[in-house]
Chains A and B, each alone.
Chain A
Amino acid sequence: MEYFLTEDQKTMQNLARRIAEERILPVRAELDEKEEFPWEIIKDLADSDMFRVFIPEQYDGLGGGCLDLCLVVEELSRACSAVAVSYAAVDLGIIPLLDYGTEEQKQKYLPDVAAGKRLAAFALTEPTAGSDASAIRTTAEKVAGGYVLNGTKQFITNGGEAEIYTVIALTDRTKGARGASALIVEKDTPGFSFGKKEKKMGIRASATRELIFQNCLVPEENIIAREGMGFIIAMKLFDKSRPGIGAQAIGVAQGALEAAVDYARERIQFGHPIISLQAVQHMLADMATQVEAARALVYAAARMVDSGARNVSEESAMAKVFASDVAMKVTTDAVQILGGAGYMRDYPAEKMMRDAKITQIYEGTNQVLRNVIALELRKRKGKRA
């Protein structure tokens, strides 16, 4: 399918593919096995300017947008979703800064992120607040010169590895969600420590960790926008970032499709390669069609984000829900086509199936996102948006 990408976008895509094939593919199984954060690959990504992609030119970036990020994430995820999410989570961590930060904040943090010298992360989820994000309990109490953070964040991607954290905490406990604020917290701030590193089903090379704040004093100038904006910042952030999860999903689905076709061409049963069996052919045809449909939706949503459209909640939710459901289906079918081999860790299909699952869960479960879509449908009586 032709998506009419610009020359710059094709360059990014090709380079990301080269990094994926030359640097990620040879080590992905080992990284998964050892649950080791892929620092060497992060360095390759930094050297290749991949962290500049989503940062404006005035902060040493290349001025790309959501689609550019999606193209890179997709290519990385085609080889390894754990690397892709470690990369994408940096974008997640800095979007609040990009959209709501002051010039001083941007100058202070973005050039280092663009150069890949410092990774970023975003922290909202807590033990008591997952889908119900308004149930967060971490507090940021106003004191002279800043805010004192107390509480625990859970399941934070890039936790422990990132240097810059955008943390959502309550500056006013009486106002519920409207009392939440977004604060930049740097690693090594006294009172900020890391809890256990999670052992995950998939995306195992990525770091998922608890953030613990115990009387952690954050300077006043680290608040993003103003007090009470935290929840809005988070919701707007997810509207922009969900196509990225969609891209992660189509990447892993594409990788699984390719693994399945390769295997089906080689595997001989009943005297012929199994790709000559119609049962297998139809499965592969469906997989390819679903991946392409998901890709078209993800790219369209990403382009809408880049257009600056005011409300992209529905489209971006659709892209994430559809692409992640496709990823789960396609990776599961890939394991099926590889049969017994597909279930073995010697082949990549089972890792892809494990990696795909998370895309249906994080950045809004697919159930919560269906609520988002349905809400918009109700508002406009089902008419075409």
Chain B
Amino acid sequence: MNVIVCLKQVPGTTKVTIDPQTNTLVRQGIESITNPFDTYALEEGVRLRERYGGKVTAISMGPPQADTMLKDAISVGADDTALICDSALAGSDTWATAYVLARAAGEINEYDLIICGRQTLDGDTGQVGPEMAEMLGIPFIAYVSKIEEIENGRMQVQRMVEDGYETIETTLPAVITVVKEINVPRLPSLRGLARARSASIPVWKAEELGIDKNMVGLSGSATRVIRIFYPQRVSQAQIFEGSMEDKVDSLVEKLREAKLI
């Protein structure tokens, strides 16, 4: 059972700034963390290896400093890692990112399952997983909350839906995105930390992956961010005056007007 887990480094703070030129996140000088949803993906990958054998390869597309995140991945059980890092990739949208990750998966070649977090903390789109599956031409299941069984190239999972869960069976290889209900990610181990300290993270360039540079980066991305803005804060509070009875009457009146009661 060989698993690829896709990780993304995201800002570890809510105080982010936007580059006014590109309308993308300014990542320099900000403390970064592993996208929290991806930690569940990695934990599930490691658990599958513990259950079925094989190996877990953690991959990421990102800047050079993302190698610390991949080292963290080793400390909690990833066997192999790869960082796809190339200036040509800067500014890629979800489609371009999915394309790059799909190429990387193709490079790894022998895999049974690709696991992603349901979405990232910064982009929040949840598109990369399904787009990857589409590009690789393999099945996709979103919001997986439990992997029940894997046998003879088939996998049965539970996926969360609004009012419960669905049980779905798929052939492998496949791509899934997972929700936080799926597991409790482990803490690192001392042996893992030692392995991580001495590990060097392989860096893959766009060229090595046979990536068409017209399909990646800002220019290769279909998405154009026109403007990013904070919603205007409007305060519409109304304070009723008078005796308690008057205030209650006014409130009830107002709620009736608004057809809320």
Contact residues of B between 161 and 203, Cβ < 8 Å to A: 186-194
**In the complex, what's the smallest C-beta–C-beta distance from A8 to chain B, in angstroms?**
8
Closest to A18 in B: B187
Q: Which of A18, A19, A44, A52 contacts B191 (CB 8 A)?
A: A52
Contact check, A23 vs B187: say whether CB atoms are below 8 A apart: yes
CA distance A23 to B186 in the complex (A): 10
Closest to A19 in B: B187
In the complex, per-residue mask of A1-22: 1 if CB is within 8 Å of any chain B CB, else 0: 0000000100110010011001
Contact residues of A between 13 and 65, Cβ < 8 Å to B: 15, 18-19, 22-23, 44, 47-50, 52-53, 62
- Please report the number of residue pairs spanning A and B whose Cβ atoms sit closer than 8 angstroms: 33
Contact check, B189 vs A49: say whether CB atoms are below 8 A apart: yes
Contact check, B190 vs A12: say whether CB atoms are below 8 A apart: yes
Contact check, B191 vs A15: say whether CB atoms are below 8 A apart: no
Contact check, B187 vs A62: say whether CB atoms are below 8 A apart: no
Categorize the interface residue count of chain A.
Answer: 10 to 19
Closest to A43 in B: B186
The interface size of chain B toward A, counting residues with CB under 8 Å, comes to: 9
CA distance A146 to B179 in the complex (A): 56
For B190, the chain A residues whose CB sits under 8 A away are: 11-12, 15, 48-50, 52-53, 62
For A12, the chain B residues whose CB sits under 8 A away are: 190
In the complex, per-residue mask of B22-50: 1 if CB is within 8 Å of any chain A CB, else 0: 00000000000000000000000000000
CA distance A48 to B191 in the complex (A): 8
Contact check, A15 vs B186: say whether CB atoms are below 8 A apart: no
CA distance A184 to B193 in the complex (A): 34
Contact residues of A between 74 and 116, Cβ < 8 Å to B: none
- Spell out B's residues near A (CB within 8 Å): 186-194
- Spell out A's residues near B (CB within 8 Å): 8, 11-12, 15, 18-19, 22-23, 44, 47-50, 52-53, 62
6 tightest A-B CB contacts, nearest first: A49-B190, A49-B189, A48-B189, A49-B191, A48-B187, A11-B193
Q: Could you list 19 examples of A-B contacts with CB < 8 Å?
A: A11-B190, A11-B194, A12-B190, A15-B187, A15-B190, A15-B193, A18-B187, A19-B187, A22-B187, A23-B187, A44-B187, A47-B189, A48-B186, A48-B187, A48-B188, A49-B191, A52-B190, A52-B191, A62-B191
